[in-house]
Chain A
Amino acid sequence: MAEQRIATSKVAGTWAWFLQRLSAGLLVILLATHIFLDHYAQVGADITVSWVHERLGQVLYIAVDYSMLALVLFHGLNGTRTVLFDFEMFVKRRKAVDIGLWILGIAMLVWGIVILWPFIHG
């Protein structure tokens, strides 16, 4: 066998690795807040558009919803990147994978922001 080139990727994954753990920790906290505020404390509530609008008038709800969306997208897509990079063919196309996942992430973030917009502005 010819001399193999080892460690194909020279990109330091330290930040990706660290931020994955950091976002995981933040997500657990936010998820607990989210479940308490939006589900547990609201059991039995009659959910209508005006009710949602009223709640989303408060900064707390908007902050929890949007920051959770951003963190979930980061954590999920960064995790997907890790999954893809376990395969040799994606490691070789690292730039394409990175750009693709960034575009997907930003598109989904914008989509999520747009979705809540009608509720916030009535």
Chain B
Amino acid sequence: MADVDITLKVQRFDPSADTEPYWQKYTVKTQPGMTVLDALFEVLNHQDGTLAFRFCCRAGVCGSCAMMIAGKVRLACETQVATLLDKREIAISPLPHQKVVKDLAVDYDLFFSRLKSVKPYLVGKEPYPEKEYIQMPKERVPINEPIDCIMCGSCTSSCTMAWLDPGYLGPAALLKSYRFLVDTRDSIPDERLDLIESESGVYRCHTQFNCVESCPKKLNPTEAIQRQKIKLIKRKLFGRKRKA
């Protein structure tokens, strides 16, 4: 695949200068193992220094480079250009329905304020241990998966319900809530359930599975949301559990 030229069709938008986004084309010479992020760097370094995009680790861990590539929400650093060679040109645009800061970089303020509203941190049990909380391997199993979330925003920006209402928590925040809810070290499950028990919380999820389809880490936020619904209805029907 060496020496093949590909065309990148990048959506450009500078809110301070443009009224509407427009597409700009760049031709990039491919190299073996080239990712879309590498191609964007090629453009940035050699062709157009004004192109803006977000990146950090280049290894699919930081969750900075989620964008729409060839019509699909995915990570630029984990998408090989070789898999897209059948396309005439590779369309690259920012995450759908997000406020654009510039070009491919979107505003994550809403995403993170959604995340913050579910208390995305561990509230330990008192008395606090001297060193660390002891957790058996079996107790760790439920959080093995949701702990892998890199908070790239792919799920929340492909969820139609999160598009329609900024008040909806969105799959990422609800997955995070689930991650702490099922953590055996956490001490405030009731409070967490209160936070998400709302028409703008879990009940806005209509199991469209868009979040599952778009997650670059192959996580399942829908399942997390459904499990929380089950916990909520159990609490409603059989009463709150007494604190031990």
The yes or no answer to A6 lying at the interface (CB within 8 A) is yes
A9/B233 in contact, CB under 8 A: no
| Complexed CA–CA distance, A52 and B136 (Å) | 68
Beta-carbon contacts of B176-190 to A below 8 Å, as 1s and 0s?
A: 000000000000000
The yes or no answer to A44 lying at the interface (CB within 8 A) is no
- Say yes or no: A7-B117 contact (C-beta < 8 A), given A1-B109, A13-B199, A85-B199: yes
A13/B198 in contact, CB under 8 A: yes
The yes or no answer to B236 lying at the interface (CB within 8 A) is yes
Min C-beta distance of A97 to chain B, whole Å: 11
Stretch at the interface among B77-85, B88-96, B159-167: B159-167
The yes or no answer to A10 lying at the interface (CB within 8 A) is yes
Chain B: CB-nearest residue to A88 = B165
| Complexed CA–CA distance, A91 and B165 (Å) | 9
Cross-interface CB contact of A8 among B109, B113, B165, cutoff 8 Å = B165
Tell me which residues across on chain A come within 8 A of B195, comparing CB atoms.
7
Beta-carbon contacts of B142-185 to A below 8 Å, as 1s and 0s?
A: 00000000000000000001001111110000000000000000
Tell me which residues across on chain A come within 8 A of B236, comparing CB atoms.
14-15, 18
Q: Which range contains the number of B residues in contact with the other chain?
A: 20 to 34
Number of A-B pairs, beta carbon distance below 8 Å: 77
B165/A14 in contact, CB under 8 A: no
| Complexed CA–CA distance, A7 and B169 (Å) | 6
A18/B233 in contact, CB under 8 A: yes
B203/A13 in contact, CB under 8 A: yes
B198/A10 in contact, CB under 8 A: yes
- Say yes or no: A11-B198 contact (C-beta < 8 A), given A1-B110, A6-B113: yes
Tell me which residues across on chain B come within 8 A of A4, comparing CB atoms.
109-110, 113-114, 166-167
| Complexed CA–CA distance, A86 and B203 (Å) | 10
Chain A: CB-nearest residue to B107 = A1
Cross-interface CB contact of B167 among A12, A18, A82, A88, cutoff 8 Å = A88
Tell me which residues across on chain B come within 8 A of A10, comparing CB atoms.
198
Interface residues of B (CB under 8 A from A): 99, 107, 109-110, 113-114, 117, 161, 164-169, 195-201, 203-204, 206, 229, 232-233, 236
Task: For the A-B complex with A4-B114, A87-B165 known, give 12 more contacts whose Cβ atoms are closer than 8 Å.
Answer: A4-B167, A5-B167, A6-B167, A7-B168, A8-B200, A9-B167, A14-B203, A16-B199, A18-B233, A82-B203, A82-B206, A86-B165
Interface residues of A (CB under 8 A from B): 1, 3-18, 82, 85-88, 91, 94
